Amino acid sequence: MDEFAPPLTDPGNPDIWRILDDQWMMATFPIDAPSEVFGEFESFIRVWKAKVKNDRLPDWRDFELQDFEGWYGWLSVFDVEQRNPLRLRCRLWGTNLVRMFGYDLTNKYREVGNHGYQTDDDEFAEVLLEGNLIGYDKGWVYWQNKV
């Protein structure tokens, strides 16, 4: 299981929500988890957390593009257009993600059955939305044979 663990300084912190087919791990973190536990994502989480005001999660409009310098190609931003059933539209799908996954989701809907999304992905998104949690998922992009 260690090969699927997030890059944390204290691996006991995440709540491992689900392991899928020994290929993909999904974990949740409380919104107040220290940025340092996110390892290589620490700088990204620090910027994001700086935008949280009065326990309100930040919106895309709260950020400036330069806030994400170094992360541009890795960003994905989804708008929640509907909650029940969940409907997410991808506002931004970074160029590195396009290369890794082999498709561009920008301005498209994330739907079960399209681009490898499964029911677990929607369930995980619901858990994050309901609990105001930070999510982390990691695994093989098995259809592209990439990590």
pLDDT single digits (tens) 84-134? 888 899 999 999 989 888 889 999 998 766 666 677 788 888 888 888 888
Structural domain range at position 37: 2-72+112-139
In a domain, 28, yes or no: yes
In a domain, 57, yes or no: yes
In a domain, 85, yes or no: no
* pLDDT for res 1: 36
In a domain, 133, yes or no: yes
In a domain, 78, yes or no: no
Name the E strands within 22-97.
24-29, 76-82, 87-93
pTM: 0.73
Task: Report the domain count for the chain.
Answer: 1
In a domain, 91, yes or no: no
In a domain, 58, yes or no: yes
In a domain, 67, yes or no: yes
